[in-house]
Amino acid sequence: MSHPHPELGAPPALKEGALRITPLGGLGEIGRNMTVLEYGDRILIIDCGVLFPEDEQPGVDLILPDFSYIRDRLDKVDGIVLTHGHEDHIGAVPFLLRENPDIPLIGSKLTLALIEAKLAEHRIRPYVLEVKEGERERIGPFDCEFIAVNHSIPDALAVAVRTPAGMVVATGDFKMDQLPLDGRLTDLPTFAKLAEEGMDLLLVDSTNAEVPGFIPHERDISAALRNVFANADKRIIVASFASHVHRIQQVLDAAHEYKRKVAFVGRSMVRNMGIARDLGYLKVPGNMVVDVKQLDDLPDKEVVLICTGSQGEPMAALSRMANRDHQIRIVEGDTVVLASSLIPGNENAVYRVINGLTRWGAKVVHKGNAKVHVSGHASAGELLYFFNICKPRNLMPVHGEWRHLRAAAELGIATGVPRNRVVIAEDGVCVDLEKGVARIVGKVQAGYVYVDGSSVGDITEASLKDRKILGEEGFISVFVAVDSTNGKIVGGPTIQARGSGIDDNAFGPVVAKLQEGLDRSASDGVLEPRQVQQLVRRTIGKWVADNYRRRPMILPVVVEV
């Protein structure tokens, strides 16, 4: 089993006849999926998604893949294949197309409709190529065959990419639900045919590789939802991903059965469900869907709200309801259903929302106390079947944290993939497929790129560290005016603390120490403002640490007069 090494250097030039696979996101994390394939001087990209920030990334809206590896070669990109319409696979497309709007997008009808709506907000009109399962398209030197897979969103596709160097199969996100709501099964016969032809490298969804057995059927949720509807006397509020069409279909069916009206809340939810409805992927009985403004005219027992915020996102509708910062006010007796999984890293945010909702009297139904969610990713039992069907010559687990990648690797080895043909990589690691063997050859830059408001890439790790210090320890500002000729203090020091828990009046003892230090510095001829700032920072910082065991940010302002 090959694996990355922290001392990997830059990869060598790509050999003639070899295929290079470089994940720029999605390995060691759940999200930000993006894989770059290179043959000759041409490039094919599979997916281009975002990662959602965690608590230790305050102020960040989204996290993008780092495009620097391909930035000066975007004219060589023959297309971006989008496996399905979830944000962690399409969310970064607008940011890449800002740099080159001429890159074609290839995907299924629903996937392209979702990304085109998103791009319209960025005023980008992309070149698109709609494909369906069973079709093959030549995209530059890449011969792409598209295969139906079952996931938690309709129209998901895997892709088999044939090149002179061999065949690479990328599953995208998939599971093997044998009773899917739309009747669209993961196409195992086609995977078996690809295996007969020879699957040189399999990039496989690893998210649930640690989960034993088989994932329950999506339709199994219906009974739990009907139970919720049967026992709810007031409003029902369902939080889900804005693209989870199958889950929302089941909510609509239950609402129809119990004679309730439904309103979508949240811009992305309204947009995506409108698209799904127009394209026929979402079946809405009669005149059941109403505008949220009409809800005031209806009795609570006839109302269902479907909104975003199942992951505790601070600006999503459900979080704002929990914080009393939304036009919809949670009241005693409301029922809230979190119809989704907990993405790793979001647990604290979700439980914070659950507590907020409960505080106002809502009954909260979630995966922990009712069967209102099933995963969209194949578990260990399904992966074993899949590996036995595909018989890959080389295996590279993707889409997962380290524990998921290693679990998927061990499952592959158990089904007969040679251990030395299993590649566990990480973001930025280059894997070359040459003469039937996949091996790691180097590493390129693939760090986090933060989106903060309209800023893209301006926020650094150092900026986030400063934000965390400010949030946890506060700051202390120190104003000092010094004579530019002799360095003597002519004003201040004036000290103010914010968020540090230290009263401004408590700084009396350190002012004398600071004045003494500044006088000594002046007598030694140290007059440079930067050096004076360092002296102020050291003196105040040590005094606070010794007396309060805290480390606030010290902001010295030295003015020469």
pLDDT of residue 372: 77
Nearest to 133 by CA among 152, 109, 103: 109
pLDDT of residue 320: 83
Confidence of residue 514 (pLDDT cuts 50, 70, 90): confident
Per the listing, tokens 């088999």 go with: 160
pLDDT digits (tens, 9 = 90+) for 85-100: 999 999 999 999 999 9
Q: Is the pLDDT of residue 386 over 70?
A: yes
Q: What is the mean pLDDT of the chain?
A: 86
Known catalytic membership, residue 377: yes
Q: Is the pLDDT of residue 37 over 90?
A: yes
**Whole-angstrom Cα distance, residue 277 to residue 256?**
16
CATH class, domain 218-365, is alpha beta
**Whole-angstrom Cα distance, residue 256 to residue 345?**
35
What end-to-end distance do the CA atoms of the chain give, in Å? 66
Catalytic residue selected from 47, 78, 200, 205: 205
Structure tokens at 226: 């009907």
What amino acid occupies position 307?
A: C
CATH number corresponding to 19-213+376-453: 3.60.15.10
Q: Is the pLDDT of residue 482 over 80?
A: no
pLDDT digits (tens, 9 = 90+) for 289-340: 888 888 888 898 999 999 887 665 656 778 888 888 888 888 899 998 888 7
Nearest to 443 by CA among 1, 128, 3, 15: 3
Confidence of residue 239 (pLDDT cuts 50, 70, 90): confident
Peptide bond into 154 cis (omega under 30): no
Nearest to 241 by CA among 31, 87, 50: 87
Q: Which residues are annotated as a binding site for Ca(2+)?
A: 59, 61, 452
Nearest to 442 by CA among 6, 51, 8: 8
Known catalytic membership, residue 205: yes
Q: Is the pLDDT of residue 227 over 70?
A: yes
Confidence of residue 539 (pLDDT cuts 50, 70, 90): confident
Burial 48-63 (b: 16+ CB within 10 A, else e): bbbbbbbeebeebbbb
Q: Which residues are annotated as a binding site for Zn(2+)?
A: 84, 86, 88-89, 151, 173, 399
Kindly report the number of other CB atoms within 10 A of residue 277's CB atom: 15
**Chain centroid to CA 465: how far?**
20
Q: Is the pLDDT of residue 515 over 80?
A: no
pLDDT of residue 361: 87
| Residue intervals in the chain for CATH 3.10.20.580 | 461-560
Nearest to 202 by CA among 434, 397, 432, 32: 397
Q: Which residues are annotated as a binding site?
A: 59, 61, 84, 86, 88-89, 151, 173, 242-244, 373-377, 399, 452
**Chain centroid to CA 456: how far?**
16
Q: Which residues are annotated as a binding site for substrate?
A: 242-244, 373-377
Q: Is 164 within 8 Å of 177 (Cβ atoms)?
A: no
Q: Is 165 within 8 Å of 18 (Cβ atoms)?
A: yes
**Whole-angstrom Cα distance, residue 68 to residue 56?**
24
Catalytic residue selected from 177, 377, 404, 427: 377
What amino acid occupies position 346?
A: N
pLDDT of residue 348: 72
pLDDT digits (tens, 9 = 90+) for 113-139: 999 998 998 899 999 999 999 999 999
What's the number of CA atoms in the CB half-sphere (13 Å) around residue 292? 15
pLDDT digits (tens, 9 = 90+) for 154-179: 999 999 999 999 999 999 999 999 99
Q: Is the pLDDT of residue 264 over 60?
A: yes
Q: Is the pLDDT of residue 469 over 70?
A: no
Confidence of residue 236 (pLDDT cuts 50, 70, 90): very high
Nearest to 177 by CA among 206, 192, 156, 197: 156
pLDDT of residue 542: 79
Mapped onto helix, strand or coil, the DSSP state of residue 399 is coil
| Residue intervals in the chain for CATH 3.60.15.10 | 19-213+376-453
SS3 of the chain: helix, strand, coil, percent, to 5 = 35, 25, 40
Q: Is the pLDDT of residue 455 over 60?
A: no
**Whole-angstrom Cα distance, residue 495 to residue 504?**
7
- Does CATH place domain 461-560 in 3.10.20.580? yes
| Residue intervals in the chain for CATH 3.40.50.10710 | 218-365
